[in-house]
Structure formats: C-alpha cells, structure tokens
Amino acid sequence: MYINFWYAADWSHNLTTAPRKVRMLGHDIVLFRDSQGRAHALSDTCIHRGASLSEGKVKGDCVTCPYHGWHFNGEGHVRKIPSLGPGSENRVPQRGRIDAYPVEERYGLIHVFLGDLPAAERPPILEVPEYGQPGWRHTIMDYAWESNYERNIENGLDPAHNEFVHPTHGYSGEKEDYKVGDPTIENTPWGFGFMLNFQAPPIKNPVMRWARNYDGDLEAGSGHVGPSNMWTKIHLTPTRWIHQYIFETPIDEYHTKIFLICMRNVLLPTWVDKIVNKRNFAIAEQDRVVIEKLKPVKTPPSRARELLMPADKVIYLYRDSLDEWTRRGWRIDTEALRKAAERGDMVYAIPSPARRETRGWVLESVPLVPASPVETGSTPLSAVKSAVKASG
C-alpha cells in the first residue's frame, strides 16, 4: 500500500451531519462536514487517550471526541479542551493537533489525499472527462472484496482473462484460432494502459444486443492511474461507447473497497440504469470468485515466481510503476504495521502535508519502506515510458 495518492473514501451523499469512519491503507480516518458543508478528513485517533473521533459528534466546524469532549477542527487543530475550563482554546498545547488530509469532492465521491506531498507535487485524481457532459449518462455502484488491490488492478490490465472468466466477452477457449492480439500501449505520467480488438460473441441480453448491433471486432482496454485506480473503455461500435472508472481503495492488505462510475453514450433512458448495473455487478462477481482464491493472496515479491506471457505486458509495466513508488519511499511497511497491531501498544498516522512544516506530533508516522536509488543495471521508469512511447 502506498501513501501520496488520492483515494476514494466514500460517496458524497453518504456524508451528512454525523462523522463517518472509513478505513484506508490500514488506518481509520474520520470524515465530517463543517457548518458550511465542507468535507474534512482527519486521523481518527484522539491524541488525548486514543478514542475514536468518528464515535463523537460534529459541533459547528469541529468533530468532538466522545471520551473527553475535545474539539478538533478541519485542519486537525484542537480548539477546545473541556477539562481545562473556560478559555481552554487559549491554552491548547503546541502538540494539540492531529493529521488532516486534503479533500476534494469530484464525480460524487469524496477523494482524500493520504500523504505529505505539497499540492504542486501530488499525482492527479483519476479523471472522468465524460461526467456531466451532454450525450452521456452514468451509473454508480460499490462493493467490497476480500482481496489484495494489486491483484484486482492486474486483473483489469489482463486482456487474456476475458476469454475464460467472462462468457459474454469470449468463447471460453473453444475457438481453435484464439489468440490475444497485439495491444496498443498507452502511457501517462502516472500509469500504463492498453487498447485491443477482441472477437466477442453475440450478446444474449436483448437491450445490450441492440446497443452492440455491429459485426466488427469489439475494441476495449484498461489502464491504471496510480496504484489503485483504473479506467476501462468498451467500444461496442465505433460510436457507441461505455467508459468505466474504478476507484479502488485498499482497506488493508487483504480487503478492498471498490467504487465504480460507469459512463455510457448509448441507451440513455433512465430505465436502462438497472440493466447496466446488473450486468456490471455480474461481471465483477465473475472476477471476484477467481481473484479471492488466488495464491498467493498478494503479488509475489519476485517476478520469477510467476510465468508471465506477452499478454501480461501492461501488468509488468504496472509492477514497474509500483517499484518506482517504492524507491521513492512511498510504500507502507505493512510488516511493521502488522506487528504493532499485534502488540496492541502502538497506533500510527499516515503523514499529512502539515508534517513537512511542523514537528512535535503525538502519533508517529506510519513506517515506510526506506527510499532507495535505482539499482545498478535496472531501467528507470521514465526510460521505460519513453521506450513505450517511441515504440507506439
């Protein structure tokens, strides 16, 4: 799991007048809205005696601790300590603050930046360019899997699995001439993707069959942005498109919360929404039953422990991206985190941007895998991207 990326915490409509706890990257985060309706995200641990702030209440612009009533504002600063009596706001110790994380509400989601990078250096939120545009309609859904998010993302970057996992996408290997073609590789500063022509069987659902109504190949592909967000483009015909945007948030190493925004420029009546969601959920379930039984549960640390094929090219590039972010020192040391949880005597916080400006925090920053230079003989990711771009 990696700090310094944007993660979807929840749908905006779920955050109303009460604080709400979400678990991301193995940490509890409290969401709340202030008196102006602005969303905030803080570390959920009160620095006084360790209570969960999400069990408290929202009063004005602050979330209050349920144990001793401490008030924390949206910037994480303590604004009231009731036990000190009237005027306590003027006697808050210098260390009276907790980590507050940048929040942006976009596409109906609350996005939280979990990391300490300054604004100018942060990776982007996965864009949904069709959202709210004329001629496009969207549906939303979310679900939770007992799986490692990297396994989920690699499944989406895998063009070969469609033939065997999804009956509507392929022929289950029954065609003698089956072969994964050569994909067109796409790369951006924060990810890789592919587009590929598929030989898709006729669609049984009459509504979707009408939408397809085309004898040519089905053009489709997927790509990642950062470690856990993904786009998928499905071109039923040259002009009838379904574009999906998947925001995956690691709850921990073994559980993932998935938010799906599905855009379409075909079948625009509202009654089609249920059909689209039912189809998307069925396809997701077909993936889930395979992914949740993968061994090992997490991606093997050595690529020699899996026999990768040419069709796995983008998976390989995705792992290159993860390696670079590890070298930058952004990967959480999950083993150290797990040991602390087992001991039960330590709670960490994901570092917020304010930690680059001030010292003296009560909670320690989560352990990270130490940053390291590019190994001798290895190829920096920037060079890999340049080579991919040059090769077309």
- Read off the CATH number of the domain in which 45 is found: 2.102.10.10
Looking at residue 348, its pLDDT comes to 97
* Averaged confidence pLDDT in the chain: 92
- Counted domains in the chain: 2
Burial 275-306 (b: 16+ CB within 10 A, else e): bbeebbeebbebbbeebeeeeeeebeeeeeee
Distance CA 325, CA 118 (A): 16
β-strand partners of 197: 219
Give phi and psi for 318, each to the nearest 5: -60, -45
| Residue 344 resides in a domain | no
Lowest mean pLDDT among 119-133, 146-160, 178-192, 267-281: 178-192
pLDDT for residue 368 is more than 60: yes
| Residue 131 resides in a domain | no
Q: H/E element holding 251?
A: strand 241-252
Mean pLDDT of 105-121: 98
Give phi and psi for 368, each to the nearest 5: -120, 150
Mean pLDDT of 324-339: 96
Q: pLDDT band for position 166 (50/70/90)?
A: confident
| Residue 375 resides in a domain | no
Q: Of 121, 150, 170, which closes a domain? A: 121
More reliable by pLDDT, 301 or 365 = 365
152 and 228 assigned to the same domain: yes
261 and 154 assigned to the same domain: yes
Q: pLDDT band for position 389 (50/70/90)?
A: low
144 and 270 assigned to the same domain: yes
Looking at residue 306, its pLDDT comes to 92
Looking at residue 207, its pLDDT comes to 79
What is the rounded end-to-end Cα distance, in angstroms, of the chain? 31
Looking at residue 213, its pLDDT comes to 73
β-strand partners of 57: 64
198 and 312 assigned to the same domain: yes
Distance CA 32, CA 63 (A): 7
| Residue 219 resides in a domain | yes
More reliable by pLDDT, 224 or 201 = 224
- Give the CATH number, domain containing residue 212: 3.90.380.10
β-strand partners of 110: 10, 105
191 and 257 assigned to the same domain: yes
pLDDT for residue 145 is more than 80: yes
Distance CA 73, CA 82 (A): 15
| Residue 307 resides in a domain | yes
199 and 247 assigned to the same domain: yes
186 and 281 assigned to the same domain: yes
Mean pLDDT of 91-103: 97
C-alpha 200, offset from chain centre: 29
| Residue 341 resides in a domain | no
46 and 153 assigned to the same domain: no
202 and 246 assigned to the same domain: yes
Looking at residue 50, its pLDDT comes to 96
* Amino acid identity for residue 342 in this structure: E
Strand pairing category for 241-252 and 191-198: unpaired
Looking at residue 5, its pLDDT comes to 98
| Residue 359 resides in a domain | no
Give the chain's count of helices (H) and strands (E): 7, 20
95 and 216 assigned to the same domain: no
**Taking a C-beta distance cutoff of 8 angstroms, is the pair 107, 220 a contact?**
no
Distance CA 289, CA 279 (A): 16
pLDDT for residue 343 is more than 50: yes
Looking at residue 379, its pLDDT comes to 53
pLDDT for residue 191 is more than 60: yes
Q: Of 272, 300, 319, which closes a domain? A: 319
Sign of CA dihedral 309, 314, 319, 324: positive
Looking at residue 25, its pLDDT comes to 98
pTM of the model: 0.93
Return the percentage of the chain with pLDDT > 90, whole number. Answer: 80
Looking at residue 215, its pLDDT comes to 67
pLDDT for residue 376 is more than 50: no
More reliable by pLDDT, 376 or 315 = 315
Q: How many residues would you count in the chain?
A: 392
pLDDT for residue 336 is more than 90: yes
163 and 86 assigned to the same domain: no
117 and 142 assigned to the same domain: no
Q: Which residues contact 279 (CB under 8 A, 6 or more apart)?
A: 205, 208
DSSP 1: -
Q: Of 273, 296, 319, which closes a domain? A: 319
Residue range(s) defining the domain that contains residue 72: 5-121
**Taking a C-beta distance cutoff of 8 angstroms, is the pair 218, 234 a contact?**
yes
| Residue 237 resides in a domain | yes
